[in-house]
Amino acid sequence: MKILITGAASALGREIAAALNETNQVRRLDDCGPIDEHGEWVEASLVDVQAMVEAVCDIDVVIHTGQPPPALPADALRCEEMLLDLATRGTHVLCQAAVEAGVKRLVYGSTLEFFGDYPDTVFVTEHYKPLPTTEPRVLAQYLAEVVCREFARDYAFTATALRLGKLVREEDLAGAKPDLMWLDIRDAASAFAQAIKRDNGDSLDWVVRWAVYHICAPMPNAKFLIGRAEGMGYAPKHDFQGGAR
């Protein structure tokens, strides 16, 4: 399978590439130079139409990590504008190029932070209404998720959103007070490896083409229920209870 990974310079992008490299052909994309000498690298911005047309050529699946570029402007207003532009226009350019190239599957890295205002005593499933704040990074991820959803509505195109918890490594948090939104980044990468298998582009029902999954650690008294994701094949190994399962 030939896979394009956006945001490839991010920690998440690197982890996904490492999880997929052995059995797939991976093309990585970010708006910086190569971070290593392994595999194919595309240096381009998501808003560059021609670059996206070339990036999706011969690709089977697009993994759009939703991660910001490595060098954001120091000015707060310019940073906010860039995040929102990449999330909206950039995601639209990427999806449009993918559809026109015949790509049938896209997986987007969204966030569980949409549900931060729900109390921890509520069991939040994929049926709950997102309540994104106006914080630029969270709002940008929500808007990008909406763009992906609308492409699944309009085209014979499978789009999957993985709403990820806070990306960490279990061994780095030994002894820390548990956060119900924690997600080991290795488990996040494994969720993408499962999600790329979804292929419902031939369905006439756009609701079947579009799917959302909550991805976080299997903690006791969890706030976010991951049963639907487990049905997709998600099998997290890190529960922050003293070691990998």
Residue 235, pLDDT score:
97
Orientation angle between helical segments 91-100 and 136-154, nearest 10 degrees: 20
Cβ atoms of 245 and 239 within 8 Å: the answer is yes
CATH topology of domain 2-232: Rossmann fold (3.40.50)
Instruction: Kindly list the domain boundaries of the chain, sorted by start residue.
Output: 2-232
User: Would you call 183 exposed, middle or buried from its count of C-beta atoms within 10 A (0-12, 13-18, 19+)?
Assistant: buried
**SS3 helix, strand, coil % of the chain, rounded to 5?**
35, 20, 45
Per the rule left: phi > 0, alpha: psi between -120 and 50, beta: everything else, 20 is: alpha
Here the tokens at position 51 are: 């670059």
Residue 117, pLDDT score:
94
Beta-bridge mates of residue 107:
63, 160
Question: What confidence tens digit (pLDDT) does each residue in 181-240 have?
Answer: 999 999 999 999 999 999 999 999 999 999 999 999 999 889 999 999 999 999 999 999
SS3 176: coil
Cβ atoms of 204 and 145 within 8 Å: the answer is no
SS3 91: helix
Residues of the chain with pLDDT below 70 are: 242-245
DSSP state of 68: P
pTM comes to 0.96
User: Would you call 35 exposed, middle or buried from its count of C-beta atoms within 10 A (0-12, 13-18, 19+)?
Assistant: middle
Cβ atoms of 30 and 7 within 8 Å: the answer is yes
**Polymer length of the chain:** 245
